[in-house]
């Protein structure tokens, strides 16, 4: 088991995993450290990697037509990013930048594909937990959006 294995196992992403199932993923997860203000990936880049934020904080940002970068949301310990590109192989829809020194675990789709045929229930659990994580992120973003709309409506009246 990797150095952070026990703490990593406690993350929601691995909820419901048996020791054996977690051990299979533990073998293929890659640990990477990013410095504050370091870009983890850029909008429009392609990779099929699931990024698991172990420790730290990142900002999710999109470029405007004029090239300005706007923060959409912040992600922290236990959150994931890159899940859409991990799944469909399309370019990233946003950039991810570490706001503080951040430790991320990477799950490459090529490694995950080796696990899929031999362990379909593990695959189901991971994809279900990714969906739960995405739902949580969308709910937070919806809440922030409604706060912003409320603020704008309050100002315009």
Number of H-type helices and E-type strands within the chain: 5, 8
d(CA 64, CA 110): 32
pLDDT of residue 19: 92
CA atoms within 13 A on the CB side of 141: 14
pLDDT of residue 23: 92
d(CA 126, CA 91): 22
pLDDT of residue 1: 46
* Domains with residue ranges and CATH for the chain: 5-109+121-156 (2.60.120.10)
Quick: pLDDT tens for 6-37: 788 889 999 999 999 999 999 999 999 999 99
Calculate helix-pair angle for 19-28, 120-156, nearest 10 degrees.
80
Quick: pLDDT tens for 54-97: 999 999 999 988 989 999 889 999 999 999 999 999 999 999 99
Q: What is the signed CA dihedral for 144, 70, 50, 44, rounded to 10 degrees?
A: 140
d(CA 68, CA 89): 26
Q: Can you give the pTM of this predicted structure? A: 0.87
Quick: pLDDT tens for 29-38: 999 999 999 9
Quick: pLDDT tens for 104-156: 999 999 999 999 999 999 999 999 999 998 888 788 878 888 988 988 887 65
């Amino acid at each position: 088991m990797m150095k952070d294995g026990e703490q990593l196992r406690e993350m929601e992403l691995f909820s419901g995993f048996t020791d054996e199932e977690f051990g299979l993923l533990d073998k293929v997860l890659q640990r990477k450290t990013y410095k504050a203000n370091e870009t983890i990936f850029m909008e429009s880049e392609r990779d099929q990697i699931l990024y698991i934020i172990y420790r730290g904080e990142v900002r999710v940002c999109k470029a405007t037509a004029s090239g300005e970068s706007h923060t959409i949301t912040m992600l922290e310990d236990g959150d994931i990013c890159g899940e859409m590109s991990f799944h469909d192989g399309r370019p990233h829809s946003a950039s991810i930048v570490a706001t503080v020194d951040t430790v991320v675990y990477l799950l490459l789709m090529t490694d995950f594909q080796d696990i899929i045929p031999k362990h379909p229930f593990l695959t189901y659990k991971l994809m279900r937990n990714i969906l739960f994580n995405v739902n949580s992120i969308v709910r937070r973003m919806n809440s922030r959006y409604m706060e912003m709309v409320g603020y704008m409506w309050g100002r315009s009246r």
